[in-house]
C-alpha cells in the first residue's frame, strides 16, 4: 500500500504501554514528524495545555480514564488537532463511538506501522491549512490546566475542505455540490451536512427514496473530502449475482474459480485511496454482510483463492431506500454492520417535500438533455409546467427526468428564447382552455344522468356552477372543488363517449392526469364494476 506523502508535523501519542509508544514514535519519526508521548490522560492534558499539535493518536483505555474524553475536550475547545483513536481488536462499538465524537479515523490493535503512517498522512492532508508553530518557535506557554486551552486564532483556521462550500470556488467539491440542484431549506441542509462530514473518515449512510439522487450525495461527500483526487467507485449491491459477490468485492486469483484466467482486483482494490460507494446496501445477503463487516473493520481483504490478506485504504459511503433499523429487527440485516455503516446519516428529501426546487431542476435537466442530444437550449411551456406541477412525482427526480425526456421526444418543449414561459410561470401559468360552466348538480346525480344519456347526445343545459353573489360560501372548500371537478370530468367523458384520451385533450390534460383524477374522484365508466374499461386510446 502506497503511503501518501505528508509534510512534517507535530504529533502527540497517548498510550500507557511503553513498547507501543516506542513503536508509534519510530514509525512516525521515519516520516520526519516531531513526536511527543504521554502515558496517561493527565500527561496528555498537560502537553495540550502548553502546545498545539497537528495530530493526536490516543488509545481508548488509559490508566486514568478513556481516550474518548480527550476527543470531547478537543471539540469543546475547538482545537485544530486531528484525532486518531486506537481500539482493541473487534471493539466495533468503541470505534463507532470515537467517530461520532469527532475522531478523524481509528486503528485496530495490533497496529500496522504502514497503516499508521497512511492514516496520519490522510489526517494531515485534511487538516488545518495553517500548522501550529514548529518546535523552534513554540507557542507561548500558559499555566497548566485540567482541560486543553483554546488555540490562538492564527492557528485555528478553516480546514482545507472548506472551499468546497465557498461561493465562487472552482473546485471538485463546489462542482459536486452544484450538481445537487435546489435552494430549498431541505437541500441546503443536505449540502451543509455534506460539507461538514466530508472531512473525516467516518462511514456515511445516505438514506432516501428511489430517484432522489443518493449517488450524487455520495459523490459530493467524496469530492469535498481529502480523497477527492482518489477514485470514486460506485457499486450497486443488488445488481451482482450472489455467487459472484465475494470475487467482485475482494478480487480473485487466477484459477480460483472456473473462468478465472488471471488475477483480478475487486471493488476494494479499485477504490484504494478513494471512496467506495455501496448503493442499495440493504439488498446484500447476510453471508456477504459478515465478510463486508470484517473488511471494513480490519481494512484488509482476502481475494478469492488467496492465502494472505491485503491492506486496503478506502472510505465507505453506503446508501439505501430501506429502513435498515427495521431490517435489523426483522433479521435481514446484521446489527453490527448497521452500526458500523450508520456512523453519520444523510437523509435526502423526496421531491414532494421540496417542490419549490422544481423550476431549477427542470431547467438543469433540460440543459443536460439538450447537451446530450446536441439540440439548442430548451425551455418549458406554461402548459407543460402545469402538467408537471400536477404530477405526484412519486419517482422523484428520476421520474421528473423521464417526463422531460418524453416531452422533448414528443415536441412539447420549445427552444429557449422563443417561449414566453419562465420559472415564475410555475405559479402564474395560464389555465388550460376550460369547458363551459359545469352544471350545479351533485356529483353522483351528474354521473347517473351521464350514464343514462346515450353517448353522443348532449345533456340539457344547466345553470353555472359558481354560487350566486348572495349565496352562502361553501363550508368545505375542498369538497366543493372536488364536486365541481367531478361534474366537469363526468360531462367531458360523457361528451366523448367515455374516451379518456379525447376527454383529456378537451380539458387540456393528458391521459395519465385524467386517469389519476378519475381514480381520486371515484369515476368509473358506465357498466363497469369498479374496473375501468380500456378504450382504444389506452392501447397506445
Q: In the 3-class helix/strand/coil scheme, how is 500-538 assigned residue by residue?
A: HHHHHHHHCCCHHHHHHHHHHHCCCCCCCCCCCCCCHHH
Per-residue model confidence (pLDDT) at position 416 = 64
Q: Could you give the angle at which helices 477-495 and 511-521 cross, rounded to 10 degrees?
A: 120
What is residue 316's predicted lDDT score, i.e. its pLDDT?
Answer: 95
Q: How far is CA 472 from CA 201, 234, 440, in A?
A: 65, 61, 14
Q: Which residues contact 39 (CB under 8 A, 6 or more apart)?
A: 14, 15, 16, 18, 21, 62, 63
Q: What is the DSSP letter of 477?
A: H
Quick one: pLDDT at residue 87?
Answer: 81
Q: Is 0.85 surpassed by the pTM of this model?
A: no
Strands of 34-38's sheet in order across: 34-38, 10-14, 55-59, 82-87, 105-108
Q: Long-range contacts of range 387-392, CB-CB < 8 Å, 24 or more positions apart?
A: 387/509, 387/510, 387/513, 388/358, 388/362, 389/355, 389/358, 389/426, 390/513, 391/512, 391/513, 392/352, 392/516
Looking at per-residue pLDDT, the higher value among 103 and 512 belongs to 103
Residue with cell 440493504: 282
Beta-bridge partner residues of 65: 62
Alpha helices in 308-410 (DSSP H): 324-329, 335-341, 358-373, 382-389, 396-409
Instruction: Identify which of 40, 46, 62 has the alpha carbon closest to the alpha carbon of residue 146.
Output: 46
Between residues 319 and 499, the one the model is more confident about: 319
As a whole number, mean pLDDT of residues 336-340 equals 90
Residues 6+ apart with CB under 8 A from 381: 412, 413, 414, 419, 421
Q: Check whether 461 has a pLDDT greater than 70.
A: no
Average pLDDT over residues 134-139: 37
Residue 471, pLDDT score: 64
Q: For each of the domains in the chain, give its residue range(s) and CATH number, in order of start.
A: 10-125 (3.40.50.2300), 162-349 (3.40.50.300), 354-428 (1.10.8), 443-539 (no CATH)
CB atoms within 10 A of CB 87: 23
What confidence tier does 468 reach under pLDDT thresholds 50, 70, 90? low
Q: Is residue 276 within 8 Å of 316, Cβ to Cβ?
A: yes
Cα distance between residue 143 and residue 171, in whole Å:
42
The number of residues making up the chain comes to 540
* 225-252: pLDDT as tens digits: 888 889 999 999 988 998 889 999 999 9
Q: How far apart are the C-alpha atoms of 521 and 516, rounded to whole Å? A: 9
Label residue 463 by pLDDT band (50, 70, 90). very low
Once rounded to an integer, what is the mean pLDDT over residues 23-42? 90
Longest dimension (CA), the chain: 100
Measured from the Cβ of residue 110, the count of other Cβ atoms closer than 10 Å reads 9
Write the pLDDT tens digit of every residue in 150-170. Answer: 333 333 333 333 445 433 334
Please, which pLDDT band fits residue 447 given cuts at 50, 70 and 90?
very low
pLDDT at 319: 96
Does residue 535 surpass a pLDDT of 70?
Answer: no
Is residue 277's pLDDT more than 90?
Answer: yes
Mean of pLDDT over the chain: 77
pLDDT at 282: 94
Given a cut of 60, is residue 472 above it in pLDDT? yes
Closest CA to 282 of 328, 248, 250, 246: 328
Per-residue confidence (pLDDT) for residue 499, from 0 to 100: 82
pLDDT band at 9 (very low <50, low <70, confident <90, very high): confident
Which ranges of 32-103 would DSSP assign to H, the alpha helix?
Answer: 41-50, 68-76, 92-100
Q: What gap in Å lies between CA 337 and CA 334, rounded to an integer?
A: 5
Q: What is the distance in angstroms between the CA of the first residue and the CA of the last residue of the chain?
A: 58
What SS3 state is found at 159?
strand
Question: β-strand 34-38 against 55-59: which pairing, if any?
Answer: unpaired
Residue 131 falls in which region: left (phi positive, over 0), alpha (psi -120 to 50) or beta: beta
Q: What pLDDT was estimated at residue 15?
A: 92
C-alpha cell at 86: 486506537
How many CA atoms within 13 Å lie on the side-chain side of 102? Answer: 19
Cell of 482: 372536488
Name residues whose C-beta falls within 8 Å of residue 86's C-beta, 6 or more positions apart in sequence.
Answer: 15, 57, 58, 59, 60, 67, 106, 107, 108, 109, 111
421 DSSP assignment: -
* Residue 270 predicted with pLDDT over 90: yes
- Average pLDDT rounded to a whole number, residues 455-484: 61
Q: Do β-strands 204-207 and 344-347 pair in parallel, antiparallel, or remain unpaired? A: parallel
**DSSP code of 170?**
-
Share of the chain above pLDDT 70, in %: 76
Residue 422: band (very low, low, confident or very high) from pLDDT cuts 50, 70, 90: low
Phi and psi at 65, nearest 5°, equal 150, -160
Q: Which phi-psi region, left, alpha or beta, contains residue 498 (left: φ > 0; alpha: ψ -120 to 50)?
A: left
pLDDT of residue 288: 94
What percent of the chain stands above pLDDT 90? 29
CA distance 279 to 215: 7
Does residue 351 have a pLDDT over 80?
yes
Residue pointed to by grid coordinates 498522512: 121
Amino acid at each position: 500500500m502506497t503511503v501518501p506523502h505528508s509534510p512534517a508535523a507535530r504529533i502527540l501519542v497517548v498510550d500507557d504501554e511503553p513498547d507501543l509508544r516506542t513503536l508509534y514514535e519510530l514509525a512516525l519519526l521515519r516520516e520526519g514528524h516531531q513526536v511527543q508521548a504521554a502515558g496517561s490522560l493527565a500527561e496528555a492534558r498537560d502537553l495540550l495545555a502548553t502546545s498545539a499539535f497537528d495530530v493526536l493518536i490516543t488509545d481508548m483505555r488509559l490508566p486514568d480514564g478513556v481516550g474518548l474524553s480527550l476527543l470531547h475536550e478537543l471539540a469543546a475547545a475547538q482545537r485544530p488537532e486531528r484525532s486518531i483513536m486506537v481500539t482493541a481488536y473487534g471493539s466495533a462499538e468503541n470505534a463507532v463511538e470515537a467517530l461520532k465524537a469527532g475522531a478523524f479515523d481509528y486503528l485496530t490493535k495490533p497496529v500496522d506501522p504502514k497503516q499508521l503512517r497512511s492514516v496520519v498522512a490522510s489526517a494531515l492532508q485534511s487538516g488545518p491549512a495553517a500548522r501550529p508553530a514548529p518546535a523552534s518557535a513554540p507557542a507561548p506557554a500558559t499555566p497548566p490546566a485540567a482541560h486543553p486551552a483554546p488555540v490562538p486564532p492564527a492557528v485555528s483556521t478553516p480546514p482545507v475542505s472548506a472551499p468546497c462550500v465557498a461561493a465562487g470556488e472552482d473546485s471538485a467539491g463546489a462542482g459536486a455540490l452544484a450538481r445537487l440542484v435546489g435552494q430549498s431549506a431541505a437541500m441546503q441542509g443536505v449540502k451543509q451536512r455534506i460539507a461538514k462530514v466530508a472531512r473525516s473518515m467516518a462511514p456515511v449512510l445516505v438514506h432516501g427514496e428511489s430517484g432522489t439522487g443518493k449517488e450524487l450525495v455520495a459523490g459530493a461527500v467524496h469530492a469535498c473530502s481529502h480523497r477527492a483526487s482518489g477514485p470514486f467507485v460506485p457499486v450497486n449491491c443488488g445488481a451482482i449475482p450472489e455467487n459472484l459477490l465475494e470475487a467482485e468485492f475482494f478480487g480473485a486469483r487466477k484459477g480460483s474459480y472456473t473462468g478465472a484466467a488471471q488475477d483480478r482486483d475487486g471493488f476494494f482494490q479499485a477504490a484504494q485511496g478513494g471512496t467506495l460507494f455501496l448503493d442499495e446496501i440493504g439488498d446484500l445477503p447476510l453471508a456477504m454482510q459478515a465478510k463486508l463487516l470484517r473488511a471494513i473493520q480490519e481494512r484488509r481483504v482476502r481475494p478469492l483463492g488467496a492465502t494472505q490478506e491485503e491492506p486496503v485504504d478506502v472510505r465507505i459511503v453506503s446508501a439505501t431506500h430501506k429502513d435498515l433499523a427495521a431490517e435489523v429487527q426483522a433479521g435481514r440485516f446484521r446489527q453490527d454492520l448497521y452500526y458500523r455503516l450508520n456512523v453519520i446519516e444523510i437523509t435526502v428529501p423526496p421531491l414532494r417535500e421540496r417542490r419549490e426546487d422544481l423550476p431549477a431542476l427542470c431547467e438543469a435537466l433540460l440543459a443536460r438533455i439538450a447537451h446530450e442530444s446536441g439540440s439548442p437550449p430548451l425551455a418549458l411551456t406554461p402548459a407543460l409546467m402545469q402538467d408537471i406541477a400536477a404530477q405526484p412525482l412519486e419517482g422523484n427526480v428520476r421520474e421528473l427526468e423521464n417526463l422531460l425526456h418524453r416531452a422533448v421526444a414528443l415536441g412539447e418543449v420549445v427552444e429557449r428564447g422563443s417561449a414566453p414561459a419562465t420559472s415564475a410561470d410555475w405559479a402564474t401559468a395560464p389555465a388550460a382552455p376550460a369547458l363551459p360552466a359545469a352544471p350545479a348538480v351533485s356529483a353522483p346525480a351528474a354521473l347517473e344522468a351521464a350514464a343514462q344519456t346515450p353517448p353522443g347526445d348532449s345533456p340539457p343545459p344547466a345553470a353555472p356552477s359558481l354560487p350566486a353573489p348572495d349565496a352562502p360560501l361553501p363550508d368545505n372548500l375542498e369538497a366543493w372543488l372536488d364536486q365541481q371537478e367531478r361534474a366537469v370530468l363526468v360531462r367531458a367523458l360523457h361528451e366523448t363517449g367515455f374516451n379518456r384520451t379525447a376527454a383529456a385533450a378537451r380539458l387540456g390534460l393528458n391521459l395519465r392526469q385524467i386517469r389519476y383524477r378519475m381514480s381520486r374522484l371515484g369515476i368509473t365508466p358506465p357498466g363497469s364494476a369498479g374496473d375501468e374499461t380500456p378504450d382504444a386510446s389506452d392501447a397506445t
